[in-house]
Amino acid sequence: MSVQRGDNSCVFCNIANGTDNSNTIRMERELVVLFDDKYPKSSYHYQCISKKHIRNISHLTKLDLPLLEEMKSCAVEFLLENHKSDISHFRLGFHRPPFNSVSHLHLHVIGPLRYSVHEIMFNPRMGIFVPVDDLLESLRRKASEASSQ
């Protein structure tokens, strides 16, 4: 497993490199790992993390587009294999800083939500949660603008 590590105290780096086995790894790819959320906010709550230590979505650049696409692809593949009947009830996205709980890029794969308080945390209209497709579109737009200058 090739992991570009951050600080040894980063719990997600430790999961990605296999030194923390407290979470069930559900799927692994070259760039990402998907596992059960330790503190689930719904019946099904997973995290898809980058093996490369990136603090949060504010630190992403156009060079990270393949990584984000891999994160989304991994999450969708996992959901299709394991939650065929109710995939439309899942949300895929990131918490905007400073609302992210761990300073390591992680895609929430969550659904259906348990309580209304969780609806606030995972509702894109509240400005806290950014759907993966919105983030991908934003980075693609920035990349396009940069290349046209």
CA dihedral 114, 81, 101, 118 (to 10 degrees): -20
Which helix (H) or strand (E) segment holds residue 68: the answer is helix 65-82
Catalytic residue check, 95: no
Omega into 98 within 30° of 0, i.e. cis?
Answer: yes
Q: Which one of the listed residues 95, 104, 106, 108 is annotated catalytic?
A: 106
Residues in the chain: 149
| Whole-Å CA distances, 80 to 28, 43, 87, 119 | 15, 16, 7, 23
Q: Could you tell me if 96 and 59 are in contact, meaning their C-beta atoms sit under 8 angstroms apart?
A: no
| Active site residues per annotation | 106
